[in-house]
Structure 1
Amino acid sequence: MNNLNHVDFSSSNAKPENSSMTTVNILGRLRIATEQIRYIQSSLAHNGLSDQVDMLDKVGKELDGILFNLGDIFSDDTRQSEINITSHDGQISTWLEQTFSSKPQRPPNRAAARFESIKAVIQASSFVNALQKQVRQNAKERLTTVLDLPVDICKLNLWSFNMMEYDEPMVLSTLLIFDAHDIISRYRIDIETLKNFGRALTDGYQKYRAPYHNDFHGADVLQTTHCLLIKSSLMNVFTQTEIAALLFAAAVHDYEHPGLNNGYLVKTKNDLAIIYNDFSVLENHHASSIFKLLRDKRHNIWSNMDKNEYRTFRSLVISLVLATDMANHASLVERMSTYFFFKETNSATALPDSKTLLQTLLHAADISNATKPWPIYVQAVEKIMEEFFIQGDLEKIYCEDDKPTFDRDSTDIVQLQMSFITHIVNPIFDVLSKVLQIDCLDHKQKESSSSATTTTTTTTTTTKLPWQYDLQLNLETWKQVAKSGDVQKLIIDKKPLKLDLIYLQEYVEKAEKILKKRSQHDLLLACTLTSS
């Protein structure tokens, strides 16, 4: 096993055996190899070394290959990744695999400036910190009163807040959230300029009248990103510039979205695909267009930002918006899973830089509909499916040789939602939950005495984050519909899509009962194990 101590991540020529593997298998193989090592250690204590030499050699080579790949993951945040989907509907599986994993595109730009050096992710920080106190105490009495806004920041702090209930959601959310994070005062942003920017942002989001990718979606992602920040132990991790860039990127990430995906634009040789060489077409357009908007002094809310800080800010915003390309999904999950594995096993390793965590937060917010309460989620389902079906209608006209990705006459909405939650939403929020909780626990353990540590561990590991119940409920609801429901009864109108919410509510109630029984069973089991 001595060769493990001589793995050279910096050498491009010294590839160990078993180094060629897809990254989705890395952590699983590492866990298996670790278990083998433990078995060997136990066996050696009783039987000696001779019978285990060959097995030790194989395990050593396996770990060499795995560590080589992990070195790549930590050093390269543009690494291409794959995702394997299992679904009863082959068409759904194909779409998920093509959309949420990387395709060979242009080589990564090594010359691009990285934002700051490697830093500890989710370092010692706590729920209660200076910025959160501002959110709770100060912001209530500021813009809400001055501008006569329909809600205050306390409402936007709720995971269950429904942005679709309010007019001018972009203006409302940017004013309140930027103020809550002290962005307005720090960068001396003129309120009228910010309002003008919010309205111009709204115009861009509404340009193509997309059913889903409009100003409500942009404002919802901003509010969800805000919630992820204040409901986790992240507030002290990021710099002021990083927080401003994250929230700004959340607000603008789908600016001028046409309601069509990258695949369609490339397939139809759209002008945007030609301009951006088929690479993250929409994301490049969003980032480019928003900075064009900022050239107009009526909308330039960053005019008072220091020039050097603005260069860093602009670079980070662009990287965050580009990272919302769904092809980056698998890579983000892998990098955060790798970090969590090392934290869980108390292994010393390099940590992903803050940009990786910022990208993960924004991506999670972007696909967070299924983590919201059912009434909010099902509204989003109607809108996104109608947008998919509009693209399918266009594909029938302009792509006659190809079967539409989504056909409003044949696509199984239930299976699609189940697959999307299981293979896309669950993994990103699962790893995010683990990372947030384990680092929060680390901080509390450092602050507590040894006697209090046990109590902290118990309360922290059992505390549920705000999205966990609704995510389970929404998935279980679709499972119940698939099991005993009539899928045809779900749809009142096909064009535009209209779902029967009353019919679906029956299955929501069934799902609630199932989750309640499951929770009671888990509690009883936990009590039994504790007593024994």
Structure 2
Amino acid sequence: MAGKLPDCLGINANNEEAILSMKSTREYYEDIMHPFKIRESLAPSLEFCLVNLQKPCLIADISVKDFPVFSHTVPDLVYFAFEIFRGHGLDEPKLSALLDMVSKNYFQTTPFHNFWHGFSVMQMIYCISERNTKLSDFITDKEYTYLLLAAIGHDICHPGMNNSFLIATKHELSIKYNNISVLENHHASVILEMIKISEIFSSKTLKKLSPIILEVILSTDMARHKQVCDEYINTLENFDKTIPNHRQKFMNYLLHCSDLGNQTLDFPLASIWSMKVLQEFNYQVVCEENAGIRVSEFMRTGNNMVKVKNSQIGFIENIILPLWNGLAKYVKNIDDFPEGLKKNKKRWEEIQEFK
């Protein structure tokens, strides 16, 4: 029935503490076939409440490439996100409440597309910006703020199933968005509504930022990968910061890179993210079988180490490395990101089992 996800999505719920626990890659590998709970409704909760952020017990440098995201709770990450936005001229109580609301609308039991991912993507952009004078060669200060907000909200209310699944099951969101970038349109709609509720921007500014945030989040749809890459290459060859569309194409590409950036990290972090996304892939295959729809066989790795390795090697080689090489061609001081991809590809090729 339209608007409902198959019943198989409601079994074997993990809790937030289980997701947070510091496990090894081997333990995540052992979870790769486990189902996870997803809320039937993907509608957000728009309760906006002022909050008092608590400084984490474990402090970390939020500007480093390999930020230890799995060492922290959701409240910790909300605090770190607040620190990233400090100095952007935003009302701090409203900003705190907005970030708290964003965190609570990620489904924390989803293995990959949860608030840890949303924060990590934003933090990666922040890391790059700190090395490059807030990206001032490419975008304005205000656009930098909008980009960070888009990044932290780019996967909000994500069910752990992809657009093809929502379309095949005739989910209400696929109907609402005419089967076009279903999830990305939903994420953008939700984060923009939350920004509006927070009142951290004037109505005039909100009108200006909305199409920017919408387009940059739509750029994370893998169906648009070639388009985003081609537009970036064509734009950066003759980049002119005074042209708004040039700045937009740069932001689109940077968010797309960062969304696919987990394999640039040190292998212990990168491999955990791999296990998390493959757990979602494997479970989608199960749900497709149970729903009697076409099965996405390319997502099925099971716990077959050869298939797991090949999936990561192929994705790095064919998608992520060319993407990051394109960014490093024009953005300074980020050669360690594509180098990290090369190292991880080699690690995947050499690994026999997780220890």
Give the TM-score of the pair, scaled to structure 2: 0.76
Percent of counterpart pairs with the same letter? Answer: 25
What residue in structure 2 maps to residue 155 of structure 1? 61
Contact in 2 for aligned 1:368/1:425 (Cα 8 Å): yes
Aligned-partner Cα distance in 1 for 2:209–2:251: 13
- 1:466 matched to 2:336: yes
Q: Which aligned pairs between 1:10-409 and structure 2 lie closer than 5 A?
A: 148-150=55-57, 155-168=61-74, 169-179=76-86, 182-183=87-88, 186-187=89-90, 189-191=91-93, 193-206=94-107, 209-232=109-132, 234-294=135-195, 296=197, 300=198, 303-339=199-235, 353-402=246-295, 404-409=297-302
Give the secondary structure class of the aligned counterpart of 2:329.
helix
User: Taking structure 1 as reference, are residues 287 and 466 closer, same or farther at Cα in structure 2, changes over 3 Å only?
Assistant: same
Aligned-partner Cα distance in 1 for 2:202–2:260: 33
- 1:436 matched to 2:328: no
How many Å apart are 1:237 and its aligned residue?
Answer: 3.4
How many Å apart are 1:464 and its aligned residue?
Answer: 6.2
Contact in 2 for aligned 1:170/1:198 (Cα 8 Å): no
User: Taking structure 1 as reference, are residues 304 and 334 closer, same or farther at Cα in structure 2, changes over 3 Å only?
Assistant: closer
1:171 maps to a residue whose letter is V
Aligned-partner Cα distance in 2 for 1:196–1:421: 37
Structure 2 residues without counterparts, runs of 5 or longer:
1-52
Aligned-partner Cα distance in 2 for 1:151–1:214: 21
Aligned-partner Cα distance in 2 for 1:246–1:403: 32
User: Taking structure 1 as reference, are residues 171 and 291 closer, same or farther at Cα in structure 2, changes over 3 Å only?
Assistant: same
How many Å apart are 1:427 and its aligned residue?
Answer: 1.0
Aligned-partner Cα distance in 2 for 1:403–1:476: 27
Aligned-partner Cα distance in 1 for 2:192–2:286: 33
What residue in structure 1 maps to residue 46 of structure 2? none
Aligned-partner Cα distance in 2 for 1:286–1:469: 31
Give the secondary structure class of the aligned counterpart of 2:61.
helix
Aligned-partner Cα distance in 1 for 2:270–2:179: 31
Structure 1 residues without counterparts, runs of 5 or longer:
1-145, 344-349, 438-462, 491-499, 503-532
What residue in structure 2 maps to residue 476 of structure 1? 346
Contact in 2 for aligned 1:222/1:250 (Cα 8 Å): yes
What whole-Å deviation, never above 9, does each CA across 1:467-526 have from its counterpart, x for those lacking one? Answer: 133211101112224xxx4xxxx3xxxxxxxxx2x1xxxxxxxxxxxxxxxxxxxxxxxx
Aligned-partner Cα distance in 1 for 2:155–2:114: 8
User: Taking structure 1 as reference, are residues 257 and 359 closer, same or farther at Cα in structure 2, changes over 3 Å only?
Assistant: same
How many Å apart are 1:206 and its aligned residue?
Answer: 1.9
Aligned-partner Cα distance in 2 for 1:319–1:464: 25
What whole-Å deviation, never above 9, does each CA across 1:432-453 have from its counterpart, x for those lacking one? Answer: 101124xxxxxxxxxxxxxxxx
Contact in 1 for aligned 2:282/2:302 (Cα 8 Å): no
Aligned-partner Cα distance in 1 for 2:120–2:322: 21
2:118 maps to a residue whose letter is G
Contact in 1 for aligned 2:55/2:79 (Cα 8 Å): no
What residue in structure 1 maps to residue 10 of structure 2? none
Aligned-partner Cα distance in 2 for 1:220–1:354: 23
Give the TM-score of the pair, scaled to structure 1: 0.52
Contact in 2 for aligned 1:170/1:218 (Cα 8 Å): no
Aligned-partner Cα distance in 1 for 2:219–2:63: 25
Contact in 2 for aligned 1:156/1:223 (Cα 8 Å): yes
Aligned-partner Cα distance in 2 for 1:307–1:314: 10
What whole-Å deviation, never above 9, does each CA across 1:16-43 have from its counterpart, x for those lacking one? Answer: xxxxxxxxxxxxxxxxxxxxxxxxxxxx
**How many residue pairs align between the two structures?**
296
